[in-house]
Amino acid sequence: MPPAAISGECELKVKVNFSIDYKMQRKGLKDILLLGDPRLYENCEPVLESELELVPLWVADLAQAMQEIREQYQFGRGIAAPQLGIMKRLIYIDLGQPRIILNPEMYDLSPEMFEIWDDCMSFPNLLVRVERHQSLTLKYRDENWHRQEWKAEGAESELIQHEVDHLNGVLCTMRALDDKSFRWVGR
């Protein structure tokens, strides 16, 4: 067999094995990156249309991690991909109905702000007092690569800002109102 044919055959096996290995190594609560992990401070890369076949795998991991957080700590409405070390602009939100958000961009952030004690899966026993925009418009692509728009207010607006911050390497600890804006909670 000519060397070129052998090379092509090997490349195909590597791709197949990667997919199988990824499916076998499901992620969950144990894999959530914790405060101080340098990956939490990195900017994420956009999800490419050519990566859509990986989105269901990533979303399954995000949903599993969020379910485990809910069971153990009794909170969790959304999770950003980098919290599981998936350095892509992907957010999974479940407010009664799952929503998959790819490559989000925030617009029309209101000048009206509100304060909230923010929680985070990357430090589940710490609350941080932050200020967030009362409303915003989110433009993004869904899991089918269709353009979507979400006008959010209040708690939804806060959640979106928190998760988009993760995609930009920003944690709510970096948005604390002052040095007394931290509260430890035993959950």
Contact call for residues 115 and 176 (beta carbons, < 8 A): no
Place of tokens 């009664």: 96
Contact call for residues 84 and 27 (beta carbons, < 8 A): yes
Return d(Cα 137, Cα 177) in angstroms, integer: 24
Q: Is 158 part of the annotated catalytic residue set?
A: no
End-to-end Cα distance, the chain: 62
Q: How many CB atoms lie within 10 A of CB 80?
A: 28
Return d(Cα 130, Cα 62) in angstroms, integer: 25
Active-site residue identified among 49, 105, 115, 163: 163
Catalytic residues: 163
